[in-house]
Structure 1
Amino acid sequence: MTTDGARRALSFDELVTSSERRLLRLGLMLTGGVHSAEDLVQTVFARAHRKWDRISAVESPEAYLRTMVVNEFLSWRRLLKSREVPLAEPIDRPSEEDIGSRQAQRDAAWRLLAGLPRQQRAVLVLRYYEDLPDDEIAEVLGVAPGTVRSNAARGLATLRTHLPAEEEH
């Protein structure tokens, strides 16, 4: 099937196959847990399947799904039961790097990010992980660009207050 003769519309299965990993990574950044991210993305895929006729007609179905993931995360009322911290992918070869120190820094970053209010966390993930500009973040969240900037500023300020002071050598 083509839309306007310009591009072939993806089937739902094709969209799931092409976007699942990216959406899972986004879900992981938002929830901080592998299982919670899987639940989040699965919920979105189930809802998207029911609305597929409408979603397949939009210009960017993957961007639409990304928005659904963020909105679903923001609307979750239940507490995330798991406070697991995702670990780095296994390393294939030995490294000179201090893996323990790197992992401790990563764990601390996850804890700091998890302590932010959901909207601030979503703004920071969309800005720094998805690399979206403020106007696109505002569109995804359904807020004004000024709200995005204030949430980003508050979130970063909170993170800065909880970061350990750098040691002087």
Structure 2
Amino acid sequence: MNPRPDFGEFFEAYYGRALRFVRRHGFPVAEAEDVIAETFTALLVRWQSHGEPEQPAAYLYRSLSNQMARRHAKRDQQAFSQALDETIDVIDARQLEAFDRVETMHDAWRLLCALPERQRAIFYMRFFLDMSGREIAQQLGLAPGSVSKHLFMARKRLAERLQEEQDFSRADHLD
């Protein structure tokens, strides 16, 4: 019977594969190495506390996928926060209070979903995929000026929706 490898042997055998796996999902080398380090650290803790998983390679790839998903979610949340901060430029001072009401990502996504499809796509590409106006224009087959106009209108509509929510909130307080 062939003895199962210890964690060190497993790490040596799968590090390169894990790096290629994470890189294929679009992570730069430095971030891919961070993802792998965090995943292997968690796997080592699990290995030491509960023993070797029944299928260690499958467990590794599932853990890598979960770690990448967490990183993407965090990146999306940061991009959305940045986009909201930039949207403040469009809003006057009394509308700023409405931003305090956007307390959860659910509320923020709900506001984004209310945008027309093209504006939502351009807003998403600009602030979540970090694409330039020129890249968005090429991707969607639009003139760069049209992309700028749609982005401006999306930010303006978000500001208007926030104002509507603020007005609605004030009406609730008056009742």
Specify the TM-score bucket, using the shorter chain as the normaliser: 0.3 to 0.5
Taking structure 1 as the reference length, the TM-score comes to 0.41
Instruction: State which structure, 1 or 2, has the greater radius of gyration over its C-alpha atoms.
Output: 2
Structure that is richer in helix per residue: 2
Taking structure 2 as the reference length, the TM-score comes to 0.40
